[in-house]
Amino acid sequence: MAARPAALVFDAYGTLFDVHSVVALCDELWPGRGAQLSQLWRTKQLEYTWLRSLMGRYEDFARVTEASLRYACGALQLPYDERKRAQLMDAYCHLAAFPEVNEALGKLQGLKLAILSNGAPAMLDALVANSGLARRFAAVLSVDELKIYKPAPKVYQLAVDRLGVPAPAIGFVSSNCWDAVGARSFGLRTFWVNRGGQPVDGLGFAPDHEIRSLAELPALVG
């Protein structure tokens, strides 16, 4: 049995907060197209973070999110205007937490808990406050401080530096396999929340633990 971590660091989007909780609003704006739009929007959002990191052309996550929304609407030929843009961008500050999140975090309160996210600080602060989860976390860390996105190793080093905890004593929790693999490659102990039953990404590393929801996490960390 591995030693209990001294800190647990969580990805935000897709791990604590359901990015596809925007589907209802998307369906309201474009009936019958919500799920398709949400999926393409999220796919391009991630692609743009990786591409901008490789290009050395950082823009914060709010701009990336807006650019990927604009692309998705164009690709799906959905009429797009300032009103719809504002509604959907605001929805990213009110994403729903997954149902098990609050209870799971409550069972982990003996540990130092933090968020480490691609999100821009203003987006993250609003999202965490609106969710009512702010009191659960000792720190909310953003890649904006470094101007590069996950899975760049220096992003995971940020958690080490800011929390004052060595890498092997940090547990990192993400629903994105590529993120969990990136953290494992760096040296963090990783927990992949595989809600969709997907295979492990073939990147040469595997997460230490695979769970189906955050409800399983407290028993694993002891």
The pLDDT of residue 3 is: 82
Q: What gap in Å lies between CA 166 and CA 11, rounded to an integer?
A: 18
The overall pTM is greater than 0.85: yes
The Cβ of residue 135 has, within 10 Å, a number of other Cβ atoms equal to 8
Residue numbers annotated as active site: 11
Which domains, and CATH codes, for the chain? 7-17+95-221 (3.40.50.1000), 19-91 (1.10.150.240)
SS3 assignment, position 75: helix
Instruction: List C-alpha distances in Å: 103 to 6, 99, 136, 159, 195.
Output: 20, 8, 11, 24, 17
* Type of residue numbered 139: A
What pLDDT, in 10s, does the model give residues 43-97? 999 999 999 999 999 999 999 999 999 999 999 999 999 999 999 999 999 999 9
Low-confidence ranges of the chain (pLDDT < 50): 1
Report the DSSP beta bridge partners of residue 139. 114
Question: What is the enclosing helix (H) or strand (E) of 159?
Answer: helix 153-163
